[in-house]
Amino acid sequence: MSGFAAKTVLVTGAATGIGRATALAFAAQGACVMIGDIDDRAAETVALISRAGGTAAFEHCDVGDAMQTTALVEACITRFGRLHIAFNNAGVLPPAVPFHEIVETDFDRIIATDLKGVFLCMQAEIRHMLEHGGGAIVNTSSVAGIVADPNMASYVAAKHGVAGLTKAAAVEYAQRGIRVNAIAPGFIVTPMTQPWADSQVFRNAFFAQNVIGRAGTAEEVAGTVLHLCSDAANFINGALFVIDGGQTAH
């Protein structure tokens, strides 16, 4: 995979997990990486990239705030001169409760980060890309953007919304040099999902429906993101790539 040596990549939610693995992968391919995250562990990701000989920077950013997402893109441009690629990955998980017991503030928090956050980042990124020859955007949806699991209604709503935003933007900007795609990871072991991985009840239920018989890794997701942002994917637009080991195949 080539073509990232002269590119600048913006990654949100790169303090840990899929975001960190993807930021490291882009940097290993020569890209300059700007990280936006509310979690200060993103500084550790920058340090890992620097120690490996790469170039990265971190800006504290709440993706649910339009002023902060705009400032993040501006900081990226100020630092690196251009924004070629964006991976809108920041997200949070809700408490698992039945639909009728969801607390409104919890619903609002999930929508603000997992859906509105993607929307606001895309707006700021697209504005820049329209003026500078286009670019590639990948958004993190989920298998919850395709199917529904019980007790996760707010997350399901947000991730379905991300899939819809992705398609809408892809249609609008396809002829302006901007490609927009999304990924739909299944169960990937990260610090955010570790409590589920530690639960025997969850593992039994998960492995009963996952044909590959194991959880995925953040690095396995990162490979798909890099492909979608590469020249090899120039004819892929408005797609939702499922990365779930076959979980939703049956």
Q: Are 72 and 61 in contact (CB under 8 A)?
A: yes
Name the CA radius of gyration of the chain, rounded. Answer: 17
Q: Known catalytic residue: 155?
A: yes
CA pair distance 180, 137, nearest whole angstrom: 5
The four Cα atoms 183, 104, 16, 181 give a dihedral, to 10 degrees, of: 20
Among candidate residues 80, 119, 155, 173, the one labeled active-site is 155
**Which sign, positive or negative, has the C-alpha torsion 168, 170, 171, 176?**
positive
CA pair distance 170, 205, nearest whole angstrom: 35
Q: Are 129 and 83 in contact (CB under 8 A)?
A: yes
Q: Residues with Cβ < 8 Å from 132, sequence gap 6 or more?
A: 82, 83
> Which tokens belong to 33?
């990486």
CA pair distance 167, 31, nearest whole angstrom: 26
> Which tokens belong to 139?
């958004």
Active-site residue set: 155
